[in-house]
Amino acid sequence: MWFSKSQNEVLKELGVNPAVGLTESEAKQRLEKYGMNKLKGKPKKSLVSLFLSQLKDMLIYVLLAAAVITLIIGEYADSIIILLVIILNAVIGVFQEYKAEKAVEALQKMTTPKSVVRRDGEVKEINSEEVVPGDIIILDAGRFVPADLRLIESANLQIEESALTGESVPSSKDASKLFEDPKTPIGDKANMAFLSTLVTYGRGEGVVVATAMETEIGKIAKILDDDNDEMTPLQKRLDELGRILGFLAIGICALIFIIALIQKRDLFEMFLTAISLAVAAIPEGLAAIVAIVLALGVTRMSKIHAIVKKLPAVETLGSVNIICSDKTGTLTQNKMTVVKQYTLNNLVDISGTDANLTATPDENELVRSLVLCSDATYVNGQGTGDPTEIALIILGEKFNLTRSEINNKHKRVSENPFDSDRKLMSTLNVEGNGYRVHTKGAIDNILKLSTTALVNGQKVPLTKEMKTDYLRMTENMSDSALRVLGVAFKDTTEMIAPEEMEKELTVIGIVGMIDPPRLEVKDSIHEAKLAGIRPIMITGDHKNTAVAIAKELGIAESIEQSITGAEIDELSDEDFAAHINDYRVFARVSPEHKVKIVRAFKAQGNIVSMTGDGVNDAPSLKYADIGVAMGITGTDVAKGASDMILTDDNFTTIVHAIEEGRNIYNNIKKSVIFLLSCNLGEVITIFISILLNWPVPLIATQILWINLITDSLPAIALGIDPGDKDVMKLKPRNPKESFFARGAGLRAVIGGVLIGIFTLAAFYYGLWEHGYVLGSGAVPEEALPYARTMSFVVLAASQLFYSFSMRSTTKSLFKIGPFSNIFLVGSLIVGMLLQLVVISVPVLANAFGVHNLTLQDWALVLVFALIPLIVNEIIKTFMRSNEHK
């Protein structure tokens, strides 16, 4: 409540004399008491805790169970292989999170490295982290505020607080004001200055009342420390899948024992068979493959300027259907720009023009007066001072009226600084043998003080009609969300006092300026809307300004689609959530409103992305499904709260990231459905053979080889498939949609059944070749290894070929191009070579219990292996013909 206390009360409470400041010994004691002036983040996780966190997954638990069981029964090689898969998966996850964290650290910059303080009666510069409560801080244009201050002196002080309030126009400060209302909004506390805001104009002094986590920004940072880490949709899908597979494995083992008891088989042999089936039911490589695919996706995204902090966020971004974006600096350029200028009966649009403009005599006087009546600087593309004045200096450069040149020619000798009551600023400059007053500010105030107007280079009496004309044009510009400044002058033969400057003026005209939209954003918003994504603007700016920008960008169509923070407060949470879909623009909102907006959208079942760069965006970045922070202009607090950081601060990158996210999810889905088809084929093969009282066609080692080696190569290749070029023409996925929706489950079943049937057919053919027929009793000793080799090769080869059919659910293999995914072609070649090596090299052949095959059997094996692929392509043809009917 410092804003409600006088300067003397605050100084007394903090025990400091403003003329002397704290002594060094007092400052040292307070530093020990209050701590360093820096925001505290959550303690970083160690590599060990990061590693252990990767193991908290149902699928990993199932794999660990399989490893323990194989260890108990003495299959040590199998146990080691499964454990290696688990470790590989965890290491990939740790590496990716650690790498992303390092990238974030590299992005973070110290926003306030130095502060000017008064200590021991001397003004000195110290590190901002050493500022303590009670320190007297000296403020001037261009400096960041190092802590929360109660101002004790102010002279034309203006502070840009967009990082905290979202307003791009600086707030005027007045140290003498008091505010009794305890609910005074941050933006209205004119006697306070806040951490990380920027002084744009004037000077001032303030006493530090809060540092670090006790500041307004620190309070926001505390909100972010509340854990709100929900599982992403992909994590939910894989967790659900892991549970299903875990229960399935247990169920299969139980069923096998029941069948064994009925058939009066050897129970230990059946126990080994049950383990084989459990191993067959679990895709051991799935967790590692998903992590690899996500890691590769993250690497691709970093190349398009998007740093992903957590792997699953890639997929979340792909399912986003609402993008809530802050206006200032994200949709707009966060720099005021003059777009229109008006002298009597002469309106000129100067938006989009670069330089070397020619001016009429009236326009020349208008621009010259605006430049001379400004304190900002603009050198080598860098501006300092008030954003409005920087815009005026840039306007002068377009007309070749540079500030340095005309200020040297017309030196300023006096001024009447801007204040909020007059809403005017005047300077007195040398003009020939005399002087000229240049005044800028609110046009209605200027018109009241003017008696003449400049028309075609001549002073003429200011008529009522002229005043009406200026005011009509001002209203038109305001309706277009432009900020309007009027300008006037007065010639005098001698130096005059400031209070005499603003009398009997000659009005020249007006200029209209705006914080313009980013050039590339409009196309990105159009692309997002085509993809079924709804862009939403959230801003602290005025409703009319926000709606005008939203209309220009294509976010909103009318003012009825907007709502203010005050109007939100009048609605209950239930009413607000029920009508949330009616709005596209949220204006004059606080950080609490932003969180409320995100939650309301989420309550309607949406996947919400929030983009922003200011501290005020941070809580909503945290609560959104995916928070996207700006890497260049973004504050450290915003970056810490986000899931993804844009290194180029470009809204367009979000749309590209969404496209990448959608393709990554589709690729993961292809990999998972492919692996499940393969595993189902293995389960069907073993289960049916047991029901028929046949020998088991595959042993556990062979299944593990196929699951971990043969399957994994095409699964990874599917995971890095080039992706569908039409993916942004589709609507976002329903976030509640099952992993097996849109026929995915059916495709897995069909693939699994086909692979299982032809693996069994190959096994039976191998037995038949060696004289065994159904019901003929004992199996010949040499027949079983040969028949198992046939089923082993068919199973592996059919899975390799089938992967090509998994690239699209509807498009034929030839339309996509059989060689368009070179990695998939490579996986087929490598996979077949590995199968050849396993059955040809004696040491490996003995380990896997297989034999070499004759050329005739190789031909038959390849025919059997191709059938699942061919059948699936025929099914696709029927599906396409049904769609066109």
CA angle 221, 226, 230 (to 5 degrees): 125
Say what the alpha-carbon torsion angle 437, 440, 444, 446 is, to the nearest 10 degrees: 0
DSSP codes, 787-814: HHHHHHHHHHHHHHHHHHHTT-SSS-HH
Give the SS3 label for residue 506. strand
In three-state secondary structure terms, 530 is helix
Q: Helix, strand or coil for residue 707?
A: helix
Q: Apex CA 259: angle with CA 256 and CA 260, to 5°?
A: 85
Token pair 């070929």: residue: 801
Residue 8: partners with Cβ closer than 8 Å, 6 or more residues away: none
- Tell me whether residue 868 is exposed, middle or buried, using C-beta atoms within 10 angstroms of its C-beta: 0 to 12, 13 to 18, 19 or more: buried
CA-closest candidate to residue 677, choices 805, 820, 861: 805
Q: What does the DSSP 8-state code read for residue 734?
A: P
- Clarify whether 326 is annotated catalytic: yes
What kind and span of H or E run contains 513? strand 505-514
- Give every strand in the sheet of 608-612, ordered side by side: 306-308, 644-646, 626-630, 608-612, 322-326, 534-538, 585-587, 562-564
Of 415, 425, 413, 429, the closest CA to residue 368 belongs to 429
83, two tokens? 């454990």
Are 807 and 718 spatial neighbours (Cβ–Cβ below 8 Å)? yes
Counting Cα atoms < 13 Å in the Cβ hemisphere of 87 gives 7
237 phi/psi in degrees, rounded to 5: -60, -50
Question: No. of H helices and E strands in the chain?
Answer: 33, 26
d(CA 60, CA 55): 6
Give one DSSP letter per residue of 13-34, joined into a string.
HHT--TTT-B-HHHHHHHHHHH
Tally of CB atoms within 10 A around 836: 14
d(CA 91, CA 64): 16
Q: Which of 57, 78, 148, 326 is catalytic?
A: 326
Q: Whole-angstrom Cα distance, residue 661 to residue 664?
A: 5
Listing DSSP states for 363-392 in one string gives HHHHHHHHHHT---EEETTEEES-HHHHHH
Distance CA 885, CA 877 (A): 13
Report which of 456, 508, 469, 464 is spatially closest to residue 487, judged by C-alpha positions.
Answer: 508
DSSP secondary structure letter of residue 328: I
Nearest to 192 by CA among 165, 215, 214, 173: 173
Neighbours of 671 (CB within 10 A): 29
Token code pair at residue 388: 């409005």
Neighbours of 204 (CB within 10 A): 24
Q: What span, in angstroms and rounded, lies between the C-alpha atoms of 117 and 128? A: 10
Place of tokens 């897995």: 748
Residues ≥6 apart with Cβ < 8 Å to 298:
96, 100, 308, 311, 314
Instruction: Give me the active site residues, please.
Output: 326
